[in-house]
Structure 1
Amino acid sequence: MAPVLPFSEPPYLAGLPSPYYDESHLRWQKACRAFLDENFTQHAMDWERDEKVPEHVFRTFSEKNMLIPSLPAPLPVEWLKKLGIHDILGVVKVEQWDYLHTLIYCDEMNRCGLAGPPASLTTGMAFGVPPILKFGSRQLQEQFLPELLLGKKRMCIAITEPEAGSDVANIQTTAEKTLDGQHYIVNGTKKWITNGIWSSYATMAVRTSGPGPSGLSLLLVPLLGTPGVTMRPLKVTGNLSSGTTFIELDEVRVPVQNLIGEEGQGMKYIMTNFNHERLTIAIGVTRQARVALGAAFQYVMQREAFDKTLIEQPVVRHRLAKAGALLESQWSWVESFAFQMTKLKKNEADVELGGLTALAKAQAGMVLDECARCAVLLFGGNGLTTTGRGELVERIYRDVPSARVPGGSEDVMLDLAVRQLVKNFNHRTKMLERPRGSSRL
């Protein structure tokens, strides 16, 4: 085995033993990397410069069922087999898929170091489709899942609005029923919607009744070619190829059958969906940090200053050590999350890991900030230029805000995490209290 540059690969790929991965996971990692090296990773920088991933890439991923891994584990086996999907790349049967396979997929997808190209392909499948699978009626599933799971149509998740980001309960977009009860009339705006610009549908948070979280519902809203829908791309910091979109909805008619689940349950559905989103973000962002630090390590081993390579300077080693400790600690944490997800039922994981997942997502952004800043500083002037040797680390550093804000902004996540931990602790304490009038210890 060729020597692995320090910090450039997870320990299990650098020759160290791990308790987590079996032969299925290791076969999947090799097959996944081979597919991505050929069809994705080597081209990602060009696509980010062009600010768009070509449509043929989405088709290639769809044909090889390589968008399916972005769904939460376990996979929807019944639906996949019904559509003729029995395995992923011929190495993992869909019924064998677990969250460690998901972790490997997210890690490998972000090995290009850029957040935009992976998000361009996976966001709709990862976050837009799951609410339909979990809460949609059989009629809704039969109508939309075949074309979505097979990649014949694209979709997005549309929660955020100009006045409602992490404050989901403040959503203003309305969906009012027509007098005959056959349609919802949707009015409002959605902002910062990844993939929106090329999506046929959106899983959209709308207000179907009064204020607050109890008035929210989820609705499958048609986008492309739909009267009353206007979409335009948004220029954002980093993530240039991810298709960030501003959506305006003016008297958009949506069949009532497109309601996902029940009216008034939207907040519950959204929060359940967030756990998968935040964990996969944490995994991908941690790999971005690894790419930045690995690039910096390679650079300082070669770059000379004051008659010696930069790695011979104690201050350089100190910077790498601090960032590397944060990186490997974060990776160990997300690995343990993925393992725990293979052992817990979904409802248990939502309670036990919900707050911690928010914390892991927030921490991932902080680690990326440290590793990307370390890389830019060690690259010196090359780290400030948008072309040449430092282009990758410069672009990763631009992606940092997109890791710390979307999916729940950092400060909100930190507060949510502790509140959830306190809630769980108080609940367990109450359960241990001796019932009044009882002699039981």
Structure 2
Amino acid sequence: MADHIPFSEAPWLSGSPSPYYNDSHKEWQRYCRDFITENLTKHAMQWENEGAVPEGTYEKFSAANMLIPNLPAPLPVEYLKKVGIHQIGPVKVEAFDSCHGSIYVSEIIRSGLNGPASSLCTGLAYGTPPLLKFASKELQERVVPDILLGKKRICIAISEVEAGSDVANIQTTAKKSECGRFYIVNGVKKWITNGLWSDFASMCVRTGGPGAGGLSVLLVPLKGQKGVSMRRIPVSGQKCAGTTFIELDDVRVPVENLIGREGEGMKQIMTNFNHERLTIAVKVTTQARVALSTAFGYCMKREAFGAPLINQPVVRHRLAKAGALLESQWSWVESFVYQMGRLSEEEADARLGGLTALAKAQAGIVLNECSQCAQLLFGGNGYTQTGQGELIEKISREVAGARIPGGSEDVMLDLSVRQLYKNYQRSVKANL
């Protein structure tokens, strides 16, 4: 058995047998650990304190094809090979599956800090899939190659001041010009991760009447586009993720930039959410693991009342409660990752949509518990922005960023049960 601090590694990395991972996954994990540690993890604290990931880091990841794993599996093999990407580290693109993707997501947040990882990953991970799934061939060929090669950057732009989890209430409008060649976009987008440095946004806009049926998704040019202004939004955590406020004032977008058809925006967004929420669940559960294992390590060396903290029953009780939640959540998330890799996209959307929302919500709850546990056990150090507890203090400020974006916790809990009930009703009706 590997000599790891308890809870610091997923069970399969601590020597426990697992039905999910084969030799390819193990080799991929080692490759990810080495590459990401060298190029991100060991710098993450400094970059988060500085509020920016250095220019060139995105290009370094892109040159190694190490941004491609942010896309949902199976990967867009045809496009990847067309632009010369046949392999990512030791894995051929056609062999890359959902478990490879989960391993990457977990490794990229091993620092415990979401900001540096999100600065590289979020826009590509969530902004590209709508293009790959729904855009016309012409639009795909015009923009997808540059995105895959890292020459252009993209983000997903859904949230607004009055429309976060309530997507159907989006107010940003896209009306056709008199000549019929452009959409004229007006409105604002808020809390858009990576917006500051994105060339494009896969943007949810209102092309029709009120409600979900009036929504569409449009590829909107951002950087250097007339009528677009962007500014950074200061947030509690994830300082270097580029959280952005976007204002759109009569922005002219070619009608060819419509992704799919008018009125299909809600369907596209909901399909995209499954990938987003499962990715968040993996990432946040790993972040909880970092918090709890860091606390465990601290309790083994920190002495109080003449003995290490780990000798105190109340300390062991806190670690045990948080650890049980963590490992239960991790096992649940692993099962989702496995299922995603073995169901068709249509089956996964129907059967797992509500459950991935629930897993995303539960991940935030588990992070909250592990973060609180760690901060209490670190005592004053866990409340201090420097020194031994610096990482724990930073993680505590990222808890809200795990529980709100991607669908706020209460909305996700309600959505999950409504979806499960709806599936049950369909099943009963089908069997009558």
Q: Aligned-pair distance for 1:237? A: 1.3
Match of 1:241 in 2: 240
Q: Tell me the alpha carbon deviations over residues 122-152 of structure 1, each in whole angstroms, 9 at most, x when there is no partner.
A: 1111000100000000000010001101111
Q: How far does the alpha carbon of each residue in 1:370-429 deviate from its partner, in whole angstroms, 9 at most, with x for none?
A: 000000000000000001100001000100000000000000000000000000011001
Q: What is the aligned-residue identity percentage? A: 66
How far off its partner does 1:102 sit? 0.7
Unaligned runs of 5+ in 2: none
1: distance between equivalents of 2:2 and 2:9? 12
Structure 2 equivalent of residue 280 of structure 1:
279
| Letter in structure 2 aligned against 1:95 | E
TM superposition shift of 1:66: 0.5
Task: State the partner residue of 2:65.
Answer: 65
Rounded to whole Å, the distance in 2 between the matches of 1:333 and 1:55 is: 37
Structure 1 runs, 4 residues or longer, greater than 3 Å off:
none
Q: 1:370 aligns to what?
A: 369
8 Å CA contact 2:2–2:14 kept in 1: the answer is no
Which residue is 1:260 aligned to? 259
Match of 2:6 in 1: 6
Match of 2:430 in 1: 431
- Give me the whole-angstrom Cα distance separating, in 1, the residues matched to 2:88 and 2:355: 30
Note the alpha carbon deviations across 1:52-111, whole angstroms, 9 max, x for none. 11121100000001000000000000000001000111x110000110001100100110
Q: Could you tell me how far apart the structure 1 residues matched to 2:283 and 2:153 are?
A: 21
CA RMSD after TM alignment: 0.6
1:240-389, aligned counterparts within 5 Å? 240-389=239-388
* Per-residue deviation, 1:2: 4.3
Equivalent residues in 2 for 1:15-164 (5 A)? 15-89=15-89, 91-164=90-163
1:342 shift after superposition = 1.4
Q: Matched residue of 1:55: which SS? A: coil
Aligned length: 432
Name the CA distance, whole Å, in 2 between partners of 1:125 and 1:134. 14
Alignment of 1:404-419 (within 5 A): 404-419=403-418
Tell me the distance in 2 between the aligned counterparts of 1:387 and 1:153: 36
SS of match in other structure, 1:153: coil
CA contact (8 A) 2:70 2:121 kept: yes
Give the distance between the partners of 1:295 and 1:92, measured in 2 at CA.
31
Shift of 1:200: 0.8
Query: 3-state DSSP class of the match of 2:241?
Result: coil
2: CA distance, partners of 1:381 / 1:331 = 29
Cα deviation code 1:293-351 (max 9, x no counterpart):
01000000000000010000000000000000000000001100011111100000000
Q: Distance in 2 between matches of 1:200 and 1:47?
A: 23
Counterpart Cα distance in 2 of 1:274 and 1:22? 28
Using the alignment, how far apart are the partners of 2:123 and 2:313 within structure 1?
A: 46
Q: Which amino acid aligns with 1:10?
A: A
Q: TM-score, length-normalised on structure 2?
A: 0.99
> Which residue does 1:436 correspond to in 2?
none
Q: Offset at 1:37?
A: 1.1
* TM-score, normalised via structure 1 length: 0.97
Q: Which residue pairs with 2:195 in the alignment?
A: 196
